[in-house]
């Protein structure tokens, strides 16, 4: 089943890609100018004048092709100026096509036309582009002068060159994206191979080997390019008054290159000349016309990419393993660029057609173009971060509707090109359809039994009916899967008034059902907010804290960070961010026991900063309880450092010492009421008797009530092996601190505790400020100086909790 799930999308993708490729060939993008430009150029020069025998009632081409004076003039000029046979013949083919298609006339062969020439009535060497001659009505055959021929030929050549540039630069963008994807893929492959086949890092070496020049460069790369935020230190936090999310520097570099390339590609490669017969002497018009075409076409090139970057299921994600939030960031930037291009394109054409705008308005291509540009532009204000955060569901529906309208309007807009531009629309539709299709497949594979079988597949509980507490959701899948930490699933409530609504939640832990071997039970911890989660909370509370549901699951998405190759792990989490850390701890517990001898990790420290002690009590007395009792996560020594930061009105981190005591009590007796263990039978539970647990736990916890001092780098906790005065707390598996920690201190102490060549993984999940602090601190640690670490010895991982 999973093989099908894996290959079906790829097959779909390749078929749509080859479709695009085949259609692309029809565009005949070539670097050489077509040979028929010689004849078409002569046509351009000849149409600067007219002839006495033209049927003024006929269409444009009917008038030309039906006029004997015109066709004989053309034939004579072609014989004079086009010197190769292929130019002459392919030109005839090109021109006679126009006569048939647009003029409903038949163009005889050159030989036949030449027979009609009245040799005594031919005017030689007419410079049709001389302003004095332009517009003259001739009553005889003429032969154009060299100057006129050159202007005509150049006009055609420049036109085809510009067209090639428009498309060439479009492909240039794709090449850049392709290279980025290639680099991402190779990077991932490399990381995978290193992790699989590299000889184990010898952590028992007394000192790290001194890094070679490559090692030093790698350190600098990580310090200055890969890890840091673009400017300053904000990445997760909103910048620019909450409107923008700033990328990391590496992401920023790519986005910057992409934006710059779009701008460069928009302004270069224009050949403007006075004698251009399409717009004779009108330099402004030439520039605006090329610019408008260029931006319109590049906008079309950006569309499929835009759709690709928006999907949950797309190739870029699979190949590179980049996070959805990274791609989403790219999506927003490509969108901004595409909208700007559409606006420039529309403004340009409005200016070009300013004199006939009223008639243009009646043309379908014109008003659908206006709709497309307006709707695309509307997408931007409807996607700003505050709106997304406040009204996510409204944002989503508006976004999808406007995107759909844009595609349809674009489709009609380019109909005048006889399908030449359809491939880009189809590619966007294809990418979109594929994403939706795979979503359905994923839901079907994971939870089809919820739809076709009676009974429920999910149990939601709220321990102690605590209104501030978490919802624990256990969902059985319809097939056995092998979950990994870092994965998240979208949960649907199919039997509600909004069955399409779905929300992402991180997998907290899992269990294989012994009785029913082909299901896996996935556990989620959900913090009730204002929307769907609030509804779940209400329903569960109404049912005495336990309710059976039918839910759909879509996933798994997300990927695991390989923290297991490090010697020490520092988890930093804030508030509900702990839910992304728990699955890693859960897996380490299991795998460290299975892989006992070769397991590398020597120590895990979990920093958890909380405002709301209710919340902490809940998780401490459930998911984390066993570790606190044992002081071990599987075979690895495990310590929890809890920071309670409830601030008083003066925003000083002083709190009554009763809160930590309450937390300890809740650990001993369950969450306030001593019933939490039995209430959570569905989840992981310890089977030790409550009384034994109480005393054991009390001995394991210590309250440290010192005043936190941001300046000092070594006194606020027992994290370091090197502080002898804290020996007592060495055996304690949990310490509770009052006040906020200084993230930099914590990381410094973890770094100082590394012995020899040991490597440290720092993994953070929580409020954006905490993540940005952690990122900045890790960046500071990178370096080749004393007290700093090389690029390979410390690694920063960020767990996704929002985008």
Ligand X SMILES: Cc1cc2nc3c(=O)[nH]c(=O)nc-3n(C[C@H](O)[C@H](O)[C@H](O)COP(=O)(O)OP(=O)(O)OC[C@H]3O[C@@H](n4cnc5c(N)ncnc54)[C@H](O)[C@@H]3O)c2cc1C
The site for ligand X (CB under 6 A) is made up of: 388-389, 392, 488, 503-506, 524-527, 529-534, 576, 579, 800-803
Contact indicator for 729, 703 with CB cutoff of 8 Å:
no
Beta-bridge partners for 225: none
| Residues sharing a CB contact under 8 Å with residue 618, sequence separation 6 or more, in sequence order | 463, 466, 469, 470, 671, 676
Of 294 and 503, which CB lies nearer to ligand X in the complex structure?
A: 503
Choice between 341 and 763, CB closer to ligand X:
763
- From the list ligand X, ligand NAG, none, which binds 488 (C-beta under 5 to 8 Å, kind-based)? ligand X
Length of the chain: 803
Could you give the 3-state DSSP secondary structure of residue 548? Answer: strand
Q: Which residues bind ligand NAG (CB under 6 A)?
A: 52, 55-57, 118, 120-121, 136-139, 464, 586, 589-590, 593, 626, 634, 672-673, 684, 689, 691, 727-728, 731
| 684 interface partner picked from ligand NAG, ligand X, none, CB below 5 to 8 A per type | ligand NAG
73, two tokens: 């003039």
Integer CA distances (angstroms), 692 to 166, 430, 620, 629, 699, in order: 76, 61, 17, 10, 11
Task: Name which of ligand X, ligand NAG, none residue 530 binds, using a CB cut-off of 5 to 8 Å depending on partner kind.
Answer: ligand X
User: Nearest distance from residue 594's CB to ligand NAG, in Å?
Assistant: 8
Name which of ligand X, ligand NAG, none residue 385 binds, using a CB cut-off of 5 to 8 Å depending on partner kind: none
From residue 125, give the alpha-carbon distance in Å to each of 49, 130, 147, 149, 276.
14, 12, 9, 10, 20
**CB of residue 629 to ligand NAG, shortest distance in Å:** 10
- Residue 392 contact, options ligand X, ligand NAG, none, Cβ 5-8 Å cut-off depending on partner type: ligand X
Closest distance of CB 740 from ligand NAG, Å = 27
Residues facing 648 on adjacent strands:
none
CB of 458 to ligand X, least distance (A): 15
Binder of residue 801, out of ligand NAG, ligand X, none (CB less than 5 to 8 A by kind): ligand X
Give the residue with the Cβ less far from ligand X, 347 or 384.
384
The CB-of-465 to ligand NAG minimum distance in angstroms stands at: 8
- Closest-approach residue to ligand X (CB): 531
The option from ligand NAG, ligand X, none interacting with 260 (CB < 5 to 8 A, set by class) reads none
Which listed option, ligand NAG, ligand X, none, makes contact with residue 756 (CB within 5 to 8 Å by class)?
none
210 binds, among ligand NAG, ligand X, none (CB under 5 to 8 A by kind): none
**Partners of 460 in the beta sheet?**
473, 547
Cβ distance to ligand NAG smaller for residue 128 or 589: 589
Shortest distance in whole angstroms from residue 413 CB to ligand X:
32
Q: How far apart are CA 229 and CA 464, in angstroms?
A: 42
Instruction: Name the residue nearer to ligand X (CB basis): 76 or 525.
Output: 525
Q: Which helix (H) or strand (E) holds 639?
A: strand 636-644
Kindly tell me which of 324 and 782 has the beta carbon lying closer to ligand X.
324
Which token pair is 33? Answer: 């100018």
Going by C-beta distance under 8 Å and a sequence separation of 6 or more, which residues neighbour residue 363? none
By beta-carbon proximity to ligand NAG, the closer residue of 301 and 638 is 638
Q: Which is nearer to ligand X, 165 or 571 (CB)?
A: 571
> In the complex, what is the shortest distance from the CB of residue 116 to ligand NAG, in angstroms, rounded to a whole number?
9
Angstrom distance (rounded) from CA 709 to CA 14: 59
- What is the smallest separation between the CB atom of 592 and ligand X, expressed in angstroms? 23
How far is 421 from 419, CA to CA, in rounded Å?
5
Nearer to ligand NAG by Cβ, of 516 and 673: the residue is 673
Q: How many CB atoms neighbour CB 417 within 10 A?
A: 10
Rounded Cα gap, residues 601 and 562, in angstroms: 12
H, E, C per residue of 23-63: HHHCCCCCCCCCCCHHHHHHHHHHCCCEECCCCCCCCHHHH
If contact means CB under 5 to 8 A according to the sort of partner, which of ligand NAG, ligand X, none does residue 504 touch? ligand X
Instruction: Outline where 488-563 has alpha helix (H).
Output: 532-542
Dist CA 795 CA 786 (whole Å): 18
Distance of closest approach, residue 135 Cβ to ligand NAG, in angstroms: 11
How far CA 107 is from CA of 112, 354, 693, in Å, comes to 10, 36, 100
- Residues 758, 568 contacting (CB under 8 angstroms): yes
User: Minimum distance from CB of 401 to ligand X (Å)?
Assistant: 17
- Choosing among ligand NAG, ligand X, none, which partner's interface includes residue 655 (Cβ < 5 to 8 Å by kind)? none
Q: Tell me which of ligand NAG, ligand X, none is bound by residue 734, counting a contact when its beta carbon lies within the kind-specific cut-off of 5 to 8 angstroms.
A: none
Distance separating alpha carbons of residues 565 and 202, to the nearest angstrom: 11
CB of 569 vs ligand X, minimal distance in Å: 20
- For residues 300 and 627, which CB has a smaller minimum distance to ligand NAG in the complex? 627
Partner from ligand NAG, ligand X, none contacting 57, C-beta within 5 to 8 A by type: ligand NAG
Question: What Rg do the C-alpha atoms of the chain give, in angstroms?
Answer: 35
Would you say 49 or 507 has its CB closer to ligand X? 507
Query: Considering CB distances under 5 to 8 angstroms, the limit depending on partner class, which of ligand NAG, ligand X, none binds residue 139?
Result: ligand NAG
Cα–Cα separations (whole angstroms), residue 502 to 99, 180, 536, 551: 58, 31, 13, 10
Least CB distance from residue 774 to ligand X, whole Å? Answer: 18
Q: Which does 96 bind (CB under 5 to 8 A by kind): ligand NAG, ligand X, none?
A: none
Would you say 362 or 530 has its CB closer to ligand X? Answer: 530
Q: List, in order, residues 6 or more apart from 523 with CB less than 8 Å away.
A: 472, 473, 474, 507, 508, 509, 510, 511, 682, 683, 684
Nearer CB in complex with ligand NAG: 45/288:
45
Minimum Å gap between C-beta 447 and ligand X is: 17
Nearer to ligand NAG, 295 or 671 (CB): 671
Which residues make Cβ contacts (< 8 Å) with residue 472, sequence separation at least 6? 460, 461, 462, 463, 523, 524, 525, 526, 622, 680, 682, 683
Nearer to ligand X among residue 40 and residue 522 (C-beta): 522
Count of CA atoms in the C-beta half-sphere (13 A) of 247: 20
* Closest distance to ligand NAG from the beta carbon of 687 (Å): 9
Residue 129 CB, shortest distance to ligand NAG, in Å, is: 17
Q: Is 427 exposed, middle or buried (0-12, 13-18, 19+ CB in 10 A)?
A: buried
């Amino acid at each position: 089943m999973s093989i099908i799930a894996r290959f079906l999308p790829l097959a779909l993708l390749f078929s749509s890609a080859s479709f695009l490729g085949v259609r692309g060939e029809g565009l005949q993008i070539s670097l050489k100018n077509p040979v028929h430009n010689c004849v078409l150029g002569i046509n351009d020069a000849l149409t600067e004048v007219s002839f006495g025998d033209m049927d003024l009632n006929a269409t444009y081409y009917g008038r030309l092709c039906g006029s004997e004076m015109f066709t004989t003039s053309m034939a004579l000029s072609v014989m004079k100026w086009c010197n190769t046979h292929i130019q002459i013949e392919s030109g005839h083919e090109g021109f006679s096509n126009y006569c048939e298609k647009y003029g409903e006339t038949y163009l005889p062969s050159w030989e036949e036309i030449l027979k009609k020439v009245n040799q005594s009535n031919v005017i030689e060497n007419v410079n049709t582009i001389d302003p004095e001659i332009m517009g003259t009505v001739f009553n005889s055959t003429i032969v154009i002068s060299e100057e006129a021929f050159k202007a005509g030929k150049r006009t055609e050549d420049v036109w085809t060159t510009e067209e090639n540039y428009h498309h060439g630069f479009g492909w240039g963008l794709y090449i850049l994206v392709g290279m980025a994807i290639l680099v991402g893929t190779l990077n991932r492959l490399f990381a995978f191979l290193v992790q699989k086949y590299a000889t184990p890092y010898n952590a028992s070496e007394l000192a790290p080997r001194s890094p070679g020049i490559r090692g030093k460069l790698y350190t600098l790369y990580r310090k200055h390019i890969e890890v840091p935020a673009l400017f300053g230190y904000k990445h997760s936090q909103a910048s620019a008054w909450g409107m923008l999310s700033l990328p990391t520097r590496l992401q920023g570099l790519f986005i910057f290159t992409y934006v710059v390339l779009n701008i460069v590609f928009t302004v270069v490669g224009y050949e403007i000349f006075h004698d251009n017969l399409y717009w004779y002497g009108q330099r402004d018009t030439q520039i605006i016309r090329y610019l408008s075409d260029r931006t319109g076409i590049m906008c079309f090139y950006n569309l499929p990419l835009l759709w690709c970057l928006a999907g949950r299921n797309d190739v870029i994600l699979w190949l590179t393993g980049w996070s959805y939030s990274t791609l989403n960031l790219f999506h927003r930037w490509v969108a901004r660029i595409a909208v700007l291009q559409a606006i420039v394109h529309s403004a340009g054409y409005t200016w070009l057609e300013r004199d006939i705008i009223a008639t243009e308005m009646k043309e379908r291509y014109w008003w659908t173009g206006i709709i497309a540009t307006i709707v695309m532009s509307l997408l931007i204000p409807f996607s700003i971060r505050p709106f997304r955060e406040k009204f996510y569901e409204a944002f989503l529906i508006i976004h999808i509707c406007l995107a759909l309208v844009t595609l349809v309007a674009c489709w009609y807009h380019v109909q005048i090109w006889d399908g030449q531009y359809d491939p880009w629309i189809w590619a966007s539709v294809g990418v979109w359809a594929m994403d939706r299709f795979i979503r359905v497949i994923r839901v079907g594979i994971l939870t089809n039994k919820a739809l076709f079988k009676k009974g429920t597949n999910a149990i939601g509980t709220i321990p102690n009916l605590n209104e501030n507490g978490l919802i624990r959701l256990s969902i059985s899948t319809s097939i056995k899967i092998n979950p990994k930490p870092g994965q998240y699933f979208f949960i649907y409530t199919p039997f509600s008034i909004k069955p399409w609504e779905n929300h992402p939640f991180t997998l907290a832990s899992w269990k294989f059902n012994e009785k029913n071997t082909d299901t896996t039970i996935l556990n989620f911890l959900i913090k009730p907010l204002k929307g769907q989660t609030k509804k779940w909370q209400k329903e569960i509370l109404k049912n005495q804290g336990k309710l059976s549901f039918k839910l759909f699951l879509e996933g798994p998405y997300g990927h695991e960070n390989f923290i297991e190759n490090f010697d020490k792990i520092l988890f930093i989490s804030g508030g509900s961010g702990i839910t992304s850390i728990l699955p890693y701890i859960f897996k380490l517990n299991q795998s460290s026991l299975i892989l006992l001898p070769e397991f590398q990790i020597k120590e895990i420290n979990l920093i958890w900063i909380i405002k709301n002690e209710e919340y902490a009590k809940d998780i401490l007395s459930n998911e984390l309880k066993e570790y606190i009792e044992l002081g071990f996560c599987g075979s690895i020594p495990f310590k929890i450092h809890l920071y309670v930061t409830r601030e008083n009105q003066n925003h000083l981190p002083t709190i009554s010492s009763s809160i930590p005591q309450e937390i300890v009590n809740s650990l001993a007796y369950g969450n306030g009421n001593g019933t939490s263990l039995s209430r959570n039978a569905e989840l992981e539970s310890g089977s030790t008797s409550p009384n034994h647990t109480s005393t054991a736990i009390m001995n394991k916890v210590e309250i440290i009530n010192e005043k936190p001092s941001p300046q000092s780098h070594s006194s606020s906790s027992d994290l370091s092996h090197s502080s002898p005065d804290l020996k007592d707390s060495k055996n304690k598996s949990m310490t509770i601190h009052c006040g906020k920690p200084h993230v930099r201190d914590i990381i410094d102490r973890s770094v100082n505790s590394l012995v020899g060549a040991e490597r440290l993984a720092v993994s953070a999940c929580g409020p954006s400020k905490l993540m940005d602090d952690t990122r900045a601190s890790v960046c500071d640690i990178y370096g080749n100086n004393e007290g700093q670490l090389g690029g390979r010895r410390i690694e920063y991982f960020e767990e996704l909790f929002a985008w």
